[in-house]
Amino acid sequence: MSVNQNRSGKHALMWFRQDLRLTDNQAFTAACDWVRQHHAAKLKAIYIATPSQWHQHDIAPIQLDFIQRHVNLLAQGLVSLGVEFELIQLDSFRDIPAFLTSYCEEHSIGRVFAGQEPEINEQKRDQACVEAGIPLSLSDEHCLLPPGTVLNLSGDMYRVFTPFSRKWREVAAKQAILPLGVPAPLGSILSEPKPLFFKNIGSTYLAASKDIASSKKGFNQTAPNPLISSEQWAAGEGQAKRLLNQFIQQKVQDYKQDRDFPAIDGTSVISPYLAIGVLSPRQCVAALLQRFPEVIVDDTSPGRTWLNELIWREFYRHLLVAFPDLSKGNNFNRQADHVLWRNNQSEFLAWCEGKTGYPIVDAAMRQLNQTGWMHNRLRMVVASFLTKHLLIDWRWGERYFRQHLIDGDLAANNGGWQWSAGCGCDAQPYFRIFNPMSQSEKFDPDGRFIRKYLPELASWGVTRLHQPNQQKMPSLFEAPLFASQADYPNAIVEHNAARARALTVLGVLKKA
C-alpha cells in the first residue's frame, strides 16, 4: 500500500472505483480500521462519475447502467454501516485532483483510501492526485497476486502464459487466501439514500453517435447502443456470490468438458461482476479452494481448468502494468505495425450487425448486441473471423466489444484481441485460422445456440446451418460478395480464399 501523508485531517474518505463491493474490499476495510484507530474520526465514501472519460474509454452504456445500479446498492449498504455516501459528478479524470484537494480541505480528510487500477489513464490520474498532495492510500486488489509479484528469474514480467501460470501457482500456494468480511458498522444506520443517477451519460452517448455519423474514419463507424438497460443482469454482491457459489457447487467439475459449448450453461458468467469489482478474484479462488483444497498444487484437480482462466485474467492485468503501451492500443508485437489491414467498412458493419452469412459468427454477434455478453469460444471465433477472414484491424473489433460488453475490461479485451489476431503477447500464431464451419459443427453440433439468436434460420437443418452459402471470391483483394437474400445473407467471404489471403497478408508476422 502506498500513501502520501503530507496532509493533516481527522477524517477519512473511501473512494470507490472498480471495486464496488463491501466484502473483501481491502481499501474499505483499511479505511474502517483507520477510522476506528483515530479518535472522533468519521468515514465518508464517494464514487466519481466521469462521463467524458468513459466516453473516451468507450465504456458500453450497458456496463455504465450496471455500474449505476451497483453504486445505488453500495450506497444502501454503506448507510447501514453508518457511512455517508456521495455520488460526485465531474467530467473527466483531469478534474479529479482539484476536486479532491478542495473536498479534503472542506471535510478535513486526513487519508483517502482506494483500490489500485491497472490501466494507464487510471494510474496517471492517481499519480496526479498524489502530486497534488492528496493523501492517497492505494491497496492492490484487482488481482489476487499484485502486478510485479509474479516475475521470472531475471525479475521481469513473463511474456508467455504457461510459465507465468506456473509461477503464479507457486506464489499463490504460499499464501493464505482468505477473503475479508464486511467491516463492522462504524455508527448507527443513516437514512435511506435517494436513487442516484449518473448525469450526462445519455447526451454524451448521443453526441458520440453524431460524431460517428459524420466521421470518415471507419474506426469510428459504430456507436454504442444508447443506454440499453442492464436489467437482464441481476445486480448486487449477493447475486454475484450466488452465481459464484452455484457454479462452484454445481458446474465447476464439468467446466473442462462444457466450457466450449455456447448452448450449454457451463461457465460461471461472473465476468460482469469481476470487471467492476462487485466480486474480487480472492473470493473466486477462495470459493474454489473450499471445494478443491488442492487445486493450486495438484495439476489433476477438477477445478484446475477454471483456476487457469482466473490466472489468464491476472496475466493480462500484469501485462498491462508491465507494458503500459498496451493501454494505448499498440501492437505487442511491433512487427504487426506492418500488416496491411483491408479495413473494409461495409464488411465491418456486416460483422457488427451479425450479417456475415456465417451463422455461428452472426449468432455470436447478436448475442453480444442483445445481451452485452458473449461466450468465450465465440469471442475467439468472431475475433479470428474479423482479423483473419476479413483482415480488419483488431483494434476495430476491440473497440466494438468495449462499446457493447457488460464485462468490458481493457486488459482481458486487449489480450483476447491481440491473441486472436496473432500480434499479442503469447499470441495464437497468425497461420492458425479458425475455420468457422468446423467451429460451428464442433461447438454447436445441433445448432441450438445458432437458432436461438438467428430465429430466421429455425427451419434450417444442421448441415445447412454449419455450411454457409459461399460463392467464389473473384480475386484476393476485390470487394466482398455480399449478395443478400431476403431473410439471410450469403457468406461475405469464401473461407478458402479468405484463408489464403490472410496467410499472405499476415505473413509479415513470421519475421517476429
Known catalytic residues are 309, 312, 341, 376, 394, 417
Q: Which lies closer to ligand FAD via its Cβ, residue 35 or residue 310?
A: 310
CB 440 within 8 A of CB 451: no
Among the listed ranges 271-279, 457-465, 472-480, 488-496, the one in contact with ligand FAD (CB under 6 A) is 271-279
Which neighbouring-strand residues pair with 89? 49
330: cell is: 499498440
Residue 405 CB, nearest approach to ligand FAD (Å)? 5
194 to 46, 191, 227, 238, 331: CA distances (angstroms): 15, 9, 21, 21, 45
Give the H or E element holding residue 51. helix 51-56
Enclosing H/E stretch for 47? strand 43-49
309 touching ligand FAD, by CB under 6 A = yes
Binding segment (CB under 6 A) for ligand FAD, from list 113-121, 186-194, 270-278, 455-463: 270-278
Task: Single out the residue of 74, 201, 208, 383 in contact with ligand FAD (rule: CB under 6 A).
Answer: 383
Position 224 contacts ligand FAD (CB under 6 A): no
Residue 64, C-alpha cell as written in the block: 455504465
3-state DSSP call for residue 45? strand
Closer residue to ligand FAD, CB minimum distance, 134 or 289: 289
Restricted to residues 391-430, the positions that interact with ligand FAD (CB under 6 A) are 401, 405, 407-409, 412-413, 415-417, 420
CA atoms within 13 A on the CB side of 463: 0
Single out the residue of 20, 270, 386, 493 in contact with ligand FAD (rule: CB under 6 A): 270
Closest CB to ligand FAD among 408 and 489? 408
Site string for ligand FAD, 49-68 (x = CB under 6 A): --------------------
Report which of 316, 283, 287 is spatially closest to residue 303, judged by C-alpha positions.
287
* Nearer to ligand FAD (CB atom), residue 361 or residue 473: 361
Please say which residue, 7 or 256, places its beta carbon nearer to ligand FAD: 256
Which residue is closest to ligand FAD by CB? Answer: 416
Q: How far apart are the first and last CA of the chain?
A: 38
State the nearest-atom distance from the C-beta of 382 to ligand FAD, in Å: 8
Should residue 318 be labelled a site residue for ligand FAD when binding is judged by CB under 6 A? no
Is 305 a residue that touches ligand FAD (CB under 6 A)? Answer: no
Report in angstroms how near the CB of residue 421 gets to ligand FAD at its nearest.
9
Size of the site for ligand FAD (CB under 6 A): 28
Helix (H, G, I), strand (E, B) or coil at 11: strand
Neighbouring-strand partners of residue 44: 13, 84
Question: Is residue 490 a contact partner of residue 357, using CB atoms and an 8 Å limit?
Answer: yes
Rule CB under 6 A: choose which of 63, 204, 268, 283 binds ligand FAD: 268
Q: Counting beta carbons within 10 angstroms of the beta carbon of residue 251, is it exposed (0 to 12), middle (13 to 18) or buried (19 or more)?
A: middle
Provide the residue type at 185 as one letter: P
**Among the listed residues 56, 376, 435, 467, the single contact to ligand FAD using CB under 6 A:** 376
Of positions 26, 50, 116, 271, contacts ligand FAD by CB under 6 A: 271
SS3 111: strand
- Which grid cell is 416? 483476447
Residue 330's Cα: distance from chain center in Å? 18
The only residue of 21, 259, 304, 388 in contact with ligand FAD, by rule CB under 6 A? 259
Residue 274 CB, shortest distance to ligand FAD, in Å, is 4
The answer to whether residue 313 forms part of the interface with ligand FAD (CB under 6 A) is yes
> Which CB atom, from 135 or from 415, has the smaller least distance to ligand FAD?
415
d(CA 335, CA 508): 7
Closest separation in Å from C-beta 268 to ligand FAD = 3
Residue (212 or 264) nearer to ligand FAD, CB: 264
Minimum CB separation from ligand FAD for residue 269, in Å?
4
Residue type, 314: E
The upper half-sphere exposure of residue 439, i.e. CA atoms within 13 Å in the direction of its Cβ, equals: 26
Query: Applying CB under 6 A, which of residues 21, 42, 304, 379 lies at the interface with ligand FAD?
Result: 379
As a 3-state breakdown, the chain gives helix, strand, coil percent values, each rounded to 5, of: 50, 5, 45
Q: Does residue 366 belong to the site contacting ligand FAD (CB under 6 A)? A: no
Q: C-beta of 416: minimal distance to ligand FAD in Å?
A: 2
- State the minimum distance, in angstroms, from the CB of residue 335 to ligand FAD: 20
Work out whether 269 is an interface residue with ligand FAD (CB under 6 A). yes
φ, ψ for residue 2, nearest 5 deg: -105, 150
Output phi, psi for 85, to 5 deg: -120, 145
Q: Is 139 in the site for ligand FAD (CB under 6 A)?
A: no
In terms of Cβ atoms closer than 10 Å to its own Cβ (0-12, 13-18, 19+), residue 435 is: middle
Return the number of other C-beta atoms located less than 10 Å from residue 17's C-beta. 18
Going by their DSSP bridges, the two strands 2-3 and 136-139 should be labelled as: antiparallel
Cell of 212: 460517428
Q: Which position among 248, 380, 437, 502 is part of the footprint of ligand FAD (CB under 6 A)?
A: 380
- Name which of 96 and 143 has its Cβ closer to ligand FAD: 143
Annotated binding site for FAD: 255, 267-271, 306, 309-316, 407-409
Hunting for cell 499472405 — which residue is that? 504
Among 93, 113, 164, 316, binds ligand FAD (CB under 6 A): 316
Identify which of 72, 439, 118, 444 has the alpha carbon closest to the alpha carbon of residue 281: 118
The single-letter DSSP state of residue 428 is P
Binding site for ligand FAD (CB under 6 A): 259, 267-271, 274-275, 309-310, 312-313, 316, 376, 379-380, 383, 401, 405, 407-409, 412-413, 415-417, 420
